[in-house]
Structure 1
């Protein structure tokens, strides 16, 4: 059961939280920042296990740790919503946090996608963060802490989930998928993101997109713009997955040409976000990706 937690369990981020609790310097609120798949939820689960653990060390073996990891401990509360977090949602969380913990010394309140909370909802939480209950700890999981109000950020300790090394991800994938031949390549293509590494193993479609990104980068100097455009159009409905894979591959290469091409991919992402015609954006990307021109034409 616990193989999936080992990478984050031995991370610098978890060790910093563990030490703060052992030394009596724990914060009453944390913002855990990082892209999807970076391990934010895993870190929050391990931190909650640490907080409620009978041994006070996240042993992962006692009943409290096991219940925290499984999401059934009465003092660990996970708030998750597919929609924006409203002020009504936040008030429910705050009312819950005002209650005494049932078993542990602290109640833990994990808010997923905290960056989606409305300004009104964040201001509602702010009042609690300014005068926090002594037995409640909040963990706000966000793609980007900058999307939270400055006043909220100033009252939380920031924990950034940065990328893991290829080797660490490879070892984690090997532990999760013994005998799987794709672990090494998946780790290299994951771009430091363990969630993406797992998805590459489990989802054939994502693996095929990663292979397409590899081919585009490896053959960029020999492909014609028309050939590159055709390859991109074949995945036009999956650009939100393909373009990040392209970015990761180019960053990993790190040479001058790759970094120039990275700029073209970032421009394509921006144009798609601005609702530029997708066909035009992809054709422009194909042209500059293969020609190596330093400027985009006005599309």
Structure 2
């Protein structure tokens, strides 16, 4: 079964959806909850294809007219709700593309399926408007809300939807996928897996980046030369890097992997478990300088910096605090 097998992990979610189809107990509204890159969009598409498939199996046949239309994203009864403003899905978006549209019966399929990506960006007004449709949907409607962070959805919405959580995927699954399917070299696959922490999309993005080696060098340079740089120089360096190609989050994730290596080496004195094995001397050097407590503080500070940046706290200030912590410990 080609397509569903391409989905790495998420066995529980797949089983739940397949059982719902087999037993004819498909809910009218679902929340697919999991971080960006975890596979929500791919599974939403496959689930929608399955529901519309002319063979009526537990998974899409990929051969019938309906499946072919869905694969090209031009199935009239699978609607991807879009929004013009990058950071919010407004009441007009929801009214026009979903609430008004759902009153019209399906054109060809048994269902009308609405896929709302980044559903956490719906404004309170948009969510309240959607609530009525979720409470009293037409028999043929299925609404899939894909949320990177479902805590920003109203409790009135979440309580009326079936929530399926996309958990991190096992490292060995991701590593073999990167090596076998994408032909990524062993070491690069390993770093990508450590960096991605169970997120397939993230692993794929970093593993296939053309400038993977440059990105690693740039991140490690800041970490290794940090002692000789002023804090503002470190902030400028990462600002320049994250404006060029990769996001600041990617660099922070590399910092995390690095300091976890340092902590691991300090505890075990072994090279085998390290992700950045080829950086042995720099890791040993850092492990000698920092205490266990200091390293744990640094790892915590990197996580805190990521959270602050997501909440739009000032970039320079966030980075200064982080590099001061790295410096002090």
Same fold (TM over 0.5): yes
The corresponding residue for 1:233 is: 236
Q: Matched residue of 2:303: which SS?
A: helix
Contact 1:191 1:252 in 2 (8 A): no
Q: Deviations over 1:171-227 (max 9, x none)?
A: 33235423655334322322211111121133345664455556777x6xx952737
The corresponding residue for 2:83 is: 81
Contact 1:200 1:207 in 2 (8 A): no
Contact 1:81 1:112 in 2 (8 A): no
TM-score by length of 2: 0.75
Structure 2 CA distance for aligned equivalents of residues 234 and 126 of structure 1: 46
Deviation (angstroms), 1:242: 2.0
The corresponding residue for 1:68 is: 70
Structure 2 CA distance for aligned equivalents of residues 5 and 108 of structure 1: 23
The corresponding residue for 1:27 is: 27
Say if 2:165 is the partner of 1:163: no
Deviation (angstroms), 1:132: 1.1
Q: Matched residue of 1:224: which SS?
A: helix
The corresponding residue for 1:15 is: 15
Q: Deviations over 1:107-126 (max 9, x none)?
A: 11101121111111111110
Say if 2:314 is the partner of 1:266: no
- Label 1:245 to 1:31 Cα distance change in 2 as closer, same or farther (>3 A): farther
Contact 2:81 2:94 in 1 (8 A): no
Contact 1:115 1:147 in 2 (8 A): yes
Structure 1 CA distance for aligned equivalents of residues 222 and 194 of structure 2: 16
TM-score by length of 1: 0.81
Say if 2:202 is the partner of 1:196: yes
Deviation (angstroms), 1:28: 0.8
Structure 2 CA distance for aligned equivalents of residues 101 and 145 of structure 1: 29
Larger-Rg structure: 2
Structure 2 CA distance for aligned equivalents of residues 248 and 73 of structure 1: 42
Structure 2 CA distance for aligned equivalents of residues 137 and 276 of structure 1: 40
Contact 1:101 1:135 in 2 (8 A): yes
Residue pairs, 1:1-299, within 5 angstroms? 6-8=6-8, 11-53=11-53, 54-63=55-64, 64-83=66-85, 84-92=88-96, 93-178=98-183, 182-205=188-211, 208-210=214-216, 212-213=218-219, 224=227, 226=229, 230-237=233-240, 238=242, 239-247=248-256, 258-269=295-306, 272=309, 273=311, 275-276=313-314, 278=316, 280-292=317-329
Q: Matched residue of 2:6: which SS?
A: helix
Contact 1:13 1:160 in 2 (8 A): yes
Structure 2 CA distance for aligned equivalents of residues 263 and 147 of structure 1: 24
- Label 1:214 to 1:151 Cα distance change in 2 as closer, same or farther (>3 A): farther
Structure 2 CA distance for aligned equivalents of residues 108 and 193 of structure 1: 26
- Label 1:35 to 1:250 Cα distance change in 2 as closer, same or farther (>3 A): farther
Structure 2 CA distance for aligned equivalents of residues 31 and 261 of structure 1: 35
Contact 2:34 2:40 in 1 (8 A): yes
Deviation (angstroms), 1:78: 0.8
Which ranges of structure 2 fall in alignment gaps of 5 or more residues?
Answer: 243-247, 265-291
Q: Matched residue of 2:205: which SS?
A: helix
- Label 1:29 to 1:225 Cα distance change in 2 as closer, same or farther (>3 A): farther
